[in-house]
Every structure is written in C-alpha cells, then in structure tokens.
Amino acid sequence: MQSAGFLLLCVPLISLLCESSKTPTGEFPESVTARSCRELLKKYGHKKDGLYYLRSKDNEVYQTYCDMSTNGGGWTLVASVHENNIHGSCTVGDRWTSQQGSSSYHPAGDGSWSNKVLFGTAEAATNDDYKNPGYYDIKAKDIAVWHVHNDNELEFWKVASVLRYHTNSNFLTPFGGNLYHFFKKYHLQYGIGTCNDRGISVPIVYDIGSDMRVNELYGESVRADFDTGYVTFRVFNNYQEAYAMCSGVRPKGCYAQYYCIGGGGYFPNTFCSDFAYLNANNGATNGYGASKEIINAAVFIFYR
C-alpha cells in the first residue's frame, strides 16, 4: 500500500521534474545559455581559458575561445583577420576587404565589418579569417587584440603572441556596444573620407609588448607617421582609400596603407588585401611597411 501510494504520487512528479529540464522543440538545448565569455565567468564561474559554446540573442549557437584571466578575464574572441596570401590582391580569403579584386565598381568591398556574414572556426583562427555571431551580438565596452603567429595551435596562442593589448575606457558603449554597430555608422568605402578624418583612436594597455615594441614591428620610415599606444578604427590615407583598423597606433600622417588593415574594396593607388600594403618592403623594417612578425600573424579581436 505504501509503495503503491508512493508510486501514484512519485511517478507523475518525477516525470514533471525531469520534463522541465527539456528544451521545447525548435530550440537549441539549454546547456548553452551564456551570451558572452564575461557571462560564463561572472554568472557561471568558468575560469579556465579555452573553447566554450555561446548563444546569441537570436539563438545562434557557436563555439569560440574565452580568455578568462587577462585583466580580470571574460574576453570573447569574435574575429580574426588573417592574411592567407600576402601577394594576392583582394583574392579568395580577403574577406575583411574584398574578394572581388580592387574594383571601382565595388568600392565598399565585401562589407564584413558591418554585416552579419560569418566565416571560419575558432580552432582555425590562425589559419583563416574568423567571424562569429558575437561580433554583432555581444554588447561590449572594450576590446582586446592579439597578434598570433600563423599556424600556432590554440594552446600556444596566449604565450606566443607577438603583441597583446586591451582598452579600458568603455569606448564601445557610445557606438552601440560593438564594431558591427560602429562600422554601420562609420562606413568603409573608397572616396568617402580623407586623411584628416583621423578615425576613432583609443588608448591601450599592453599585455604583451610596449610602445617600443610596436615601433619595432613597423618599418623605420613609417614610424613618424603614427603615435604608439592606441588602437584606431576607420581611417583614410592620402588617396582616400579606407582602412578598418590600425593596431597599436594612432595615425598622425597619411600613410595608413603601411600599418593599418582591413577596409573597403577599392585601392587604386596602393594595394588591396586584408593586410593592405603591410608587405610594401617584404617584411624588412628598414623602410615602409610592417615586419615579418606582423605580416605572419593573425589579428584576433576580443570583446568584453
């Protein structure tokens, strides 16, 4: 009798409680709930660097890398700008500029900085361009940037970076909380701005590297063209060619092509590629252009 009574009570109860752990049909299972690495750290206590699954507001589920330790942790990898062929002029793989060649008909390029097109995987971020839903979904305040040598495997990313830094001024907040919204407002397109626009420069805190190190990473002839200790978004050179990002520096002059990356789709006077004209001097630092260390490293972008 007792057993029977128990069963009458217990079985429906168990079913109900177990049932409640199921996700309704049509949704991704509930084990993935955090929208950012910051949430994984703060709300769920995950403190280990590595790969996690996240879920965007629109329920896009994706795997990415979380840096859970630098400066308090909670950094989400959202993008990697990787140059697959430094000699290719906006060919296949130049997703952060254009894959259509340098073309006056395609002056805004592929638009990856301001659209929701996705590519690549976290694990291959040193071998290919990478962009996940976090790029446009996460509401962030700051960014971190890592220059990680191509081919480097995930377990060595952190220690083997050529340069690592982050911002801590909440600069993203007024621009909508991420680079997607920033570039929606500040278009990347040939001819719509001039060198004097100067873009948005944000002071950086070095995690690996220094002002001196940044100078060494670019060519002698170009060092007078910038101040170190900043990251800058959306600038134009003296030919009105548009660039997305200048890592480690703030332009003073008009030679952005030698030290900025990404951008629009038309570069009639310099060179069209994800890494712009960084290779102008074939990686030698006694003239214009960037060092081999910069040219052969993918640029990782994190949000927090």
Q: Is 4 in the site for its own copies (CB under 8 A)?
A: no
Min separation Cβ 197 and its own copies, Å: 23
Return the range that interacts with its own copies (CB under 8 A); candidates 124-132, 156-164, 218-226, 287-295: 124-132
Nearest to 183, CA basis, from 114, 107, 261: 114
- Comparing CB distances to its own copies, the nearer of 21 and 286 is 21
CB 264 within 8 A of CB 188: yes
Among 13, 47, 169, 252, binds its own copies (CB under 8 A): 13
Give the separation between CA 45 and CA 50, rounded to whole angstroms. Answer: 14
CA 70 from chain centre, in angstroms, equals 17
Q: Is 29 in the site for its own copies (CB under 8 A)?
A: yes
Q: Is 156 in the site for its own copies (CB under 8 A)?
A: no
Q: Is 115 in the site for its own copies (CB under 8 A)?
A: yes
Give the separation between CA 193 and CA 184, rounded to whole angstroms. Answer: 15
Among 47, 59, 203, 287, binds its own copies (CB under 8 A): 59
Min separation Cβ 148 and its own copies, Å: 13
Task: Give residues in contact with its own copies (CB under 8 A).
Answer: 2-3, 5-6, 9-11, 13-15, 17-34, 40, 44, 46, 50-54, 58-61, 63, 84-88, 91-93, 99-100, 103, 105-106, 110-111, 115-118, 120-121, 123-124, 127-128, 133, 151, 154
